[in-house]
Structure 1
Amino acid sequence: MDKVAVQIDGHTLTLSNLTKVLYPADGFTKAEVLDYYQRISAVLLPHIAGRPMTLKRYPEGVDAESFFAKHAPAHRPDWIRTEDVESRSSRSREPGAPVSYLVIDDLAALIWAANLAGLELHVPMWRFPGREPDLLVFDLDPGLPATVVDCCRVAEELRPLLEDEGLRPLPKTSGGKGLQLYAAISGLTAEQASARAKALAERMEEEHPGQVVSRMTRSLREGKVLIDWSQNNGSKTT
Structure 2
Amino acid sequence: MAPERFVVAIDGRDLELSNLDKVLYPAAGFTKGEVIDYYTRIAPVMLPHLAGRAVTRIRFPNGVDGIHFFEKNKPGGTPSWVRLATLPVPGSTKSRETIDFVVVDDLATLVWLANLAALELHTPQWKIDADPDLLVVDLDPGAPAGLRECCAVAVLMRDRLEADGIAAYPKTSGKKGMQLCCPISGSQDSELVSAYAKKVAEELAAKVPSGITAKMAKAVRPGKIFIDWSQNAAAKTTVTPYSLRAQEQPTASTPLTWDEVEAIGTGVEEARQFTAAEVLERVERHGDLLADLLSPGPALPV
Aligned-pair CA distance for 1:17: 0.8
TM, length-normalised to structure 2: 0.76
Q: Deviations over 1:11-38 (max 9, x none)?
A: 0001011111111111111111111100
In the alignment, the residues of structure 2 paired with residue 74 and residue 3 of structure 1 have an alpha-carbon distance, to the nearest angstrom, of 18
Residue type of the alignment partner of 1:194: S
Give the secondary-structure state (helix, strand or coil) at the position aligned to 2:135: strand
How far apart are the structure 1 equivalents of 2:191 and 2:22? 43
- Deviating runs (4+, > 4 A) in structure 1? none
Question: Any unmatched runs of 5+ in structure 2?
Answer: 239-302
Question: CA shift at 1:91, angstroms?
Answer: 4.2
1:201 aligns with 2:219: no
Q: Does 1:33 align with 2:32?
A: no
Inter-partner Cα distance in structure 1 for 2:11 and 2:129: 25
State how 1:66-215 maps to structure 2 within 5 Å: 66-88=68-90, 90-94=91-95, 97-130=97-130, 132-187=131-186, 188-215=188-215
Match of 2:70, SS state, is strand
State the TM-score, normalizing by the size of structure 1.
0.96
Partner residue in 1 for 2:261: none
**Stretches of structure 1 lacking an aligned partner (at least 5 in a row):** none
Q: Tell me by how many angstroms 1:208 deviates.
A: 1.1
Q: Which amino acid aligns with 2:54?
A: P
Question: Structure 1 counterpart of 2:216, which letter?
Answer: M
Q: 1:80 deviation in Å? A: 0.4
CA RMSD of aligned residues (A): 1.0
Which residue in the other structure is 1:14 paired with?
A: 16
The letter of the residue matching 1:25 is A
Cα deviation, 1:117-155, whole Å, max 9, x if unaligned, reads 00000110000123x111101110111111110110000
Distance of 1:73 and 1:64 partners within structure 2: 19
What do residues 32-63 of structure 1 show as CA deviations (whole Å, max 9, x unaligned)? 11111000001111111110011100001111
Counterpart of 1:93 in structure 2: which amino acid?
K
Q: Using the alignment, how far apart are the partners of 1:80 and 1:50 within structure 2?
A: 13
Count of paired positions:
235
Partner SS for 1:15: strand
- Secondary structure at 1:133's aligned position in 2? coil
Amino acid at match of 1:211: G
Aligned to 2:284: none
* Partner in structure 1 of residue 244 of structure 2: none
**Aligned mates of 2:198, 2:237 — CA distance in 1:** 17
Residue 53 of structure 1 corresponds to which residue in structure 2?
55
Letter in 2 for 1:167: I
Letter in 2 for 1:175: G
For the residue of structure 2 that corresponds to 1:34, the secondary structure is helix
Residues of 1 paired with 2:120 and 2:159: CA distance?
31
Amino acid at match of 1:92: T
Q: Secondary structure of the residue that 2:40 maps to in structure 1?
A: helix
Counterpart CA distance in 1 for 2:234 and 2:119 is: 23
Counterparts of 1:229 and 1:150, CA distance in 2: 18
Residue 92 (structure 1) shift: 2.7
Identity of aligned residues (%): 49
Helix, strand or coil at the partner of 2:170: strand
1:221: how far off?
1.2
- In structure 2, how many angstroms separate the alpha carbons of the residues matched to 1:217 and 1:60? 33
